[in-house]
Amino acid sequence: MVSRPSGREAYLAMSAYITRDIKENEEIIIDFEGVKVLTPSWADEVITKLAQNHTVKFEHAENPTVKATLKTLSEYSGLKL
Amino acid sequence: MDNNLKDTAYNWVKGEMPAEIGEQYYCGTRDVFQARLDTMVNFLLGDPQIAENDVYVLSAVAGEIGNNSFDHNLGSWPDMPGIFFGYEAESGKVIIVLADRGQGVLKTLKRVRMELKNDEEALLTAFTEKLSGRAPESRGNGLKFVKEGVKAMNARLVFMSGKASARLNEGIEISRSDEIKGCLAVIKN
């Protein structure tokens, strides 16, 4: 989960199959269990966009790249944690 | 572990024409880079002297830098598209080298901040301010993440672009350097 193109593809796939029936402002829980490497480029294309219309909460965010990515997005992309 | 990797990459970005590099270092497309990045993670995880979390952070830092090269040079590579990507590990010590013969940081950022005067200013801006050369897209957080990742694992990063060099560890020091084409990054844990 590293590049913007793969993040964009993930977001589009989610939009078609996972998040389309979730109502605006409904809470979304993102579970990072098993994630080894996450970067702001990938996450900015997915998490920042999901957070624009939903309350996003995180589980199993202990991986250091997950923690650092969420911190970066909160500081530079306006993601509210 | 010696400086051969760094020297090979430096020679590739130094001259008017790209020097020969081995096929094992050349990633002509992002897909090739991604596949080799995944291979690097597995390779480094196989070294018991390297902490697992450090492997993931090193991979994230290298991934941001390598993908930046493709993000900011798509369709506008001055001569040779793609990047140099090489790594070595020995006794728990890792060196990762990435380079491109792209536009460089100054030319990329000057599109959105015309008052940038030189490569040194451009590098400082890239690592410390939210500013993206791909505005109006809202980007510009990748190198800030890189800076924090390097600091968190007490690694060292030398990032060169144009006639400037940034040395990152706890903080960031910018200095003038011999001119290169594009960018060159050397990461050491």
A13-24 pLDDT, tens digit per residue, is: 999 999 988 988
Report the chain B residue with the minimal C-alpha distance to residue A63: B53
The alpha carbon of residue A10 is apart from the nearest alpha carbon of chain B, in Å, by 16
Q: Is A25 exposed, middle or buried (0-12, 13-18, 19+ CB in 10 A)?
A: exposed
Is the CATH number of domain B3-15+22-188 3.30.565?
Answer: yes
Distance from CA of B178 to the nearest CA of A (A): 30
The dihedral through the CA atoms of B20, B22, B25, B27 has a sign that is: positive
Residue B163's identity, in one-letter code, is K
User: By the 8 A CB rule, do A79 and A70 touch?
Assistant: yes
| A79 has a chain B CB within 8 A of its CB | no
- What ipTM describes this predicted complex? 0.84
pTM exceeds 0.90 = yes
Query: What mean pLDDT comes out for the span B41-57?
Result: 95
* DSSP element (H, E) containing B86: strand B83-90
Q: Which of A9-13, B131-135, B146-150 has the lowest mean pLDDT?
A: B131-135
- Interval B79-124: pLDDT, tens: 999 999 999 999 999 999 999 999 999 999 998 899 999 999 999 9
pLDDT at B2 over 60: no
Phi/psi at B184 (nearest 5 deg)?
A: -140, 130
User: Cβ–Cβ contacts within 10 Å for residue B99, how many?
Assistant: 31
Query: Which residues 18-57 of A are in CB contact (within 8 Å) with B?
Result: 36-41, 44
- Sheet with B26-27, strands from edge to edge, namely B26-27, B83-90, B93-100, B183-188, B156-161, B164-168, B172-176
A8 CB within 8 Å of a chain B CB = no
B89 to each of A48, B48, B67, B95, how far by Cα in Å? 35, 11, 22, 6
pLDDT at B3: 67
CB contact under 8 A, B71 and A69: no
Tell me the average pLDDT of chain B.
93
Q: What is the pLDDT of residue A12?
A: 94
Q: Is B60 strand, coil or helix?
A: helix
Nearest 5°: CA angle at A20, between A14 and A23? Answer: 125
Nearest CA in chain B to A44: B139
What are the domain boundaries of chain B?
3-15+22-188
- At B123-144, the pLDDT tens digits run 999 999 877 666 656 667 889 9
